Amino acid sequence: MFKKEIKEGEAGLTGTEEIIAFLGKGTEFKGVLSYEGTVRIDGKVEGEIITKGTLVVGESAIINAEVAVGTLICGGKITGNINSKDKAHLLAPATIIGTIKTPVLIIEEGVRFDGKCDMLAKEEKKVSQITPEKGIRIAGVKGAD
């Protein structure tokens, strides 16, 4: 619907991203925002944001929500828990208050982060156990005793 060239310094992206929705400065949204693709927010959002796509949060944005996204690029303020499946990139002067769960976290100098970070791998791998009497045992493998 909208094509906007996002400059690297502006949003942390390179190239052209197709923005399917844009909540501009001065707009407010309350409820559940669910979408596919890339959405940019420069206004206020309260509630829940759910997508497998990308959420771009501009410097003027104020978000009080539970956020579950594929990729987060944030330069604004988010209060709430963030679950970013692929990557979270926090740009100055972003403020994050809450827990971030993501396998990749990039925080620029000048970002305020007050909360907890849980960096889980994209896929959990089987863990080896070492037992003194049997040596190494690998979970799920027969004859490894």
| Residue 144 within a domain | no
Q: How many structural domains does the chain have?
A: 1
Which of 59, 100, 102 is closest to 80 using CA atoms? 100
Residue 143 lies in a domain: no
126 within domain boundaries = yes
Residue 12 banded pLDDT, cuts 50, 70, 90: very low
Is residue 22 included in any domain, yes or no?
yes
Q: For residue 69, which of 89, 49, 45 has the smallest C-alpha distance?
A: 49
Beta bridge partners of 96: 78, 113
Domain range for residue 82?
2-138
Residue 79 lies in a domain: yes
pLDDT band at 6 (very low <50, low <70, confident <90, very high): very low
pTM of the entire structure? 0.74
